[in-house]
Structure 1
């Protein structure tokens, strides 16, 4: 199915690492991604809590005006593994 040129995305979902990793390039890329999402006036849905690259993407998008929705399955939230 081909995309129609007059339709634009309004939402984007991002799932990224819950750690920062060993390379600062990942941190920079996560922040750049969040900024790009906001610049394109997209809403962000992300699968994560309050840590790592997911946090960086969401914060960068939010502070620049994007609506941000964090989705955490109940089973994972109960474990406390995704939030500080």
Structure 2
């Protein structure tokens, strides 16, 4: 059974370990951190202090919110841990992703590279297999995710993905829309007209 609005306590953010070219990405990471802290939602993330990951974590922490970072041992020197936040060191990437999943009630996908894609594709695959019903929200800053959405629509058009799968994840354009989208996606009954299909 999907979580209700009041049961969303921890939000996992998948995002890049770089800032990207558009300054809007970094600003969105900072703003999202403030919003999560203000809503008393714990951030769960990959544990690094670099790029959008680090910006989001520092923003939550500096705004008085709770943060859980999950860092593979081999990345400790490459993606320096953010000072002052709860960080768990794990053995490998698989353990990191599983712990991030288990510790989170919902997921937000910000701009990122192949690492972010790998994380969200696995999450979406699990959803396709009915292994979870946790909300998945893409923060589509300046249309960053449109090429990815086009690919997913192509798999549906070519009959490799059922059309109903396109209703299992959602896209918003602004940080302010993230928490309302999580709340709507987490309700047991969702009015299809309130969803933004990709």
Q: Compute the TM-score of the two structures, normalised by the length of structure 1.
A: 0.82
- 4+ residue segments displaced more than 2 Å: 3-8, 74-77
Residue 79 of structure 2 is aligned to residue 82 of structure 1: yes
Residue 33 of structure 2 is aligned to residue 34 of structure 1: yes
In 1, are the aligned partners of 2:34 and 2:63 still within 8 Å (CA)? yes
Larger Rg: 2
Q: How many residues of Structure 1 are paired with residues of Structure 2 in the alignment? A: 81
CA-based RMSD: 1.9
Q: Compute the TM-score of the two structures, normalised by the length of structure 2.
A: 0.38
Unaligned stretches of 5+ residues in structure 1: none
**Aligned residue number for residue 63 of structure 1:** 62
Unaligned stretches of 5+ residues in structure 2: 82-198
Higher relative contact order (CA 8 A, sep 6+): 1
**How do residues 49-60 of structure 1 correspond to structure 2 at under 5 angstroms?**
49-60=48-59
State the SS of the aligned residue for 2:71: coil
Give the C-alpha shift of residue 74 in structure 1: 2.3
Distance in 2 separating the partners of 1:72 and 1:4: 27
Kindly indicate which of the two structures has a greater share of residues assigned to helix.
2
